[in-house]
Amino acid sequence: MKRTIPFSPKANVPKLPKLDIVHDFEQYHSVNKKYYPNPITAKRANQFNNKSRAKPIEILGKLQRKQKPLLKETSTVIHWFRNDLRIHDNLALYKCVELYQHLKQKNANAKLYAIYVINEDDWRAHMDSGWQLSFTLEALKNLQKSLAELHIPLLVWKFDDFKNSLSNSKEFVAFFKEKCLDLTSGEPVAITANIKYQTDELYRDIRLLEHDDRLQLKLYHDSCIVAPGLLTTGKGTVYSVFTPWYKKWVLYLNKHKENSSGICHLYEIKPAKYNEKFELEPFDYSLPDEFVKYIPKSQWSLPEASEAAALSLLDEFLQTKSSKYNNAKDMLSLDGTSGLSVYISTGMISTRFIVNQASQASNGQIMATALKDNSSIQNFIKEVAWRDFYKHCMCNWPYTSMEIPYRLDTLDIEWENDPVVFEKWCIGNTGIPVVDAIMRKLLYTGYINNRSRMITASFLSKNLLVDWRWGERWFRKHLIDCDLSSNIGGWGFCSSTGIDAQPYFRVFNMDLQAKKYDPEMKFIKKWIPELPNSEGRRSKDYPDPLVDLRDSRERALEVYKSAM
């Protein structure tokens, strides 16, 4: 059922324009059966754990190891851009250029292309954010111009078989093969790409690797600084707790340190005119209204979607803000974070480069001897490590990207799942000021900091007893910087259903969170201007609280305890 979002500040509140959006809230309640008619069950998910079902990352690795050498007729190389929309320190792009230069020595007519493939059904099935899709398209335009300076054409292909097929389907594989071989008039082609770790994307690559010797897909680990599977416990198992994993991550980086000026090896291609003949053909694609119509028209606009902007932002952060990161990153009214998250999730800047630059600012020490003594920059690096950790976990527990929690026993939690309560949480109308301010900011800007995400996730899953997956989908659809593994990891942590989660009896106190992270109420008053200035007074324009915080905490403890 579609409803118009009812939140609209009164006329005496000029700062926030009216939200007049017709929105289908029911889409967040369950898996999209159109794309996933037979969603995975707990029993099938557990097959990954007991090794009766192979994990997609393992299947992919075996197929890669079985790949045959390039056919001698190969004279065309393609880099397939995914969530790696950059030239600087892009491993698969580097390997693509390297291979092209090798082929060029044998065949002067060798060709080098770059591609990006649009599948709107993937976006619908995965509930991709309109904010992020808009940003990605702008990034593609800028990337195409940057590649043009290297005489590398970026071709944007759109797949649509009018059957709602995802990119892991045989229909997509047939389309992709045809498009690639059209470029070569049927001759063999080599394709490089960086691996995406979501289950759908891994199965897509598995299909492509199984398909045709004329289509050689070479895949690389690029979005993780340390590739999944390399860090294991003494028993050879994958870590499910962050701290020991993080310590081993640091040890690994220090052991494989590139040189005194950098902790990680970077992959740089040399400026050159790679194709002799080149003509820039801007792609003609506009994002359909369905993907952006729920985004309000407001004074907030997208960040600059360029690689240069990402590099500049990192430099600005390290120069002016990083020393205050420990104290500022959680404050709701401060711009205390790096602002790099959207550039990381779309791959416009590499985490290797970020860690290199940050480690130099920390005199090469990426972690203190005792974690509690981590400096601001070292904790910033630690936040980058969390991204690796959650990707490693998603590879080892692939069902976590298939709408099943890491802790299978938490499927027995008896959520209340009141749809009206959920809607009020979504639009920032719960009567709890710190929650509402955060949710309104998300609606208007597509971004909230990590502390804000933890506060609102805890409130939804614990105080309101709404299935955390409803909120995870809402975030996925509304965050400009959404990274699925981190989003699921964060929600799992706050709802006590995920990897290395907080204990179920930890329930954030909303009043204390507000006092600690918005002590002067600057943030709350900005986003809830209808609140009265005097303490202890309620406004007729602002709703009463949906729940009593103490009573709802006790109810959550009872429900969780009975299930766990």
* Dihedral sign of CA atoms 318, 331, 350, 260 in order: positive
Instruction: Give the distance between the most distant pair of CA atoms in the chain.
Output: 80
Residues pairing with 158 in the sheet: 118
Exposure letters 331-344 (e unless 16+ CB within 10 A, then b): bbbbebbbbbbbbb
Q: Does 182 show up as a binding residue in the annotation?
A: no
446 labeled binding residue: no
Tokens of 544: 């009463």
Report the pLDDT value the prediction gives residue 18, as an integer from 0 to 100: 60
Tokens of 24: 């289908």
162 marked among binding-site residues: no
Residue 241 annotated in ligand binding = no
**Nearest residue to 167 (alpha-carbon basis) of 118, 114, 211, 217:** 118
Has 385 been labeled as part of a binding site?
Answer: yes
Tokens (6 digits) for 101: 């230069």
Q: Is 537 annotated as a binding residue?
A: no
Q: Does the annotation place 347 within a ligand binding site?
A: no
Q: Please provide residue 328's backbone torsions phi and psi, each rounded to the nearest 5 degrees.
A: -95, -25
User: What single DSSP character describes residue 116?
Assistant: E
* Helix or strand (DSSP H, E) at 518: none
* pLDDT by 10s per residue, the chain, length 564: 455 554 444 433 345 656 656 688 999 999 999 999 999 999 999 999 999 999 999 999 999 999 988 888 999 999 999 999 999 999 999 999 999 999 999 999 999 999 999 999 999 999 999 999 999 999 999 999 999 999 999 999 999 999 999 999 999 999 999 999 999 999 999 999 999 999 999 999 999 999 778 999 999 999 999 999 999 999 999 999 999 999 999 999 999 987 766 789 999 999 999 998 888 888 889 999 999 988 877 666 889 999 999 999 999 999 999 999 999 999 999 999 999 999 999 999 999 999 999 999 999 999 999 999 999 999 999 999 999 999 999 999 999 999 999 999 999 999 999 999 999 999 999 999 999 999 999 999 999 999 999 999 999 999 999 999 999 999 999 999 999 999 999 999 999 999 999 999 999 999 999 999 999 999 999 999 998 765 546 778 899 999 999 999 999 999 999 998
User: Is 518 labelled as part of a ligand binding site?
Assistant: no
397 marked as binding residue: no
Is 48 labelled a binding residue?
A: no
Contact 537, 544 (CB under 8 A): no
pLDDT at 8: 44
Which run of H or of E encompasses 230? none
For residue 192, the cross-strand partners are 79, 218
Residue 340 marked in a binding site: yes
The residues, ordered by sequence, that sit 6+ positions from 444 with a Cβ below 8 Å of its Cβ are 16, 296, 298, 300
Residue type at 486?
A: S
Residues 6+ apart with CB under 8 A from 320: none
Q: What three-state secondary structure class fits 497?
A: coil
- Give the span between the Cα atoms of 403 and 198, in whole angstroms: 12
Residue 211 burial class via C-beta count within 10 angstroms: exposed 0-12, middle 13-18, buried 19 and up: middle
Question: Has 338 been labeled as part of a binding site?
Answer: yes
Looking at the DSSP assignment, which residues form a beta bridge with residue 194?
Answer: 220
DSSP secondary structure, 449-517, as one string: -HHHHHHHHHIIIIIS---HHHHHHHHHHH-TT--HHHHHHHHHHHHT-STTPPPTT----HHHHHHHH
482 has binding-site annotation: yes
pLDDT at 535: 57
Compute the distance between CA of residue 19 and CA of residue 525 in angstroms, rounded to an integer.
18
Whether residue 389 is annotated as binding a ligand: the answer is yes
Q: Do the Cβ atoms of 204 and 167 come closer than 8 Å?
A: yes
Nearest 10 degrees: Cα torsion 540, 543, 548, 553:
-150
State how far the Cα of 16 lies from the Cα of 324, in Å rounded to an integer. 30
Q: Is residue 325 annotated as involved in ligand binding?
A: yes
Place of tokens 């159109």: 34
Q: Is 113 helix (H, G, I), strand (E, B) or coil?
A: strand
Using the CB atoms, write b or e for 126-149: b if 16+ within 10 Å.
bbbbbbbbbbbbebbbbbbebbbe
Does the annotation place 436 within a ligand binding site? no
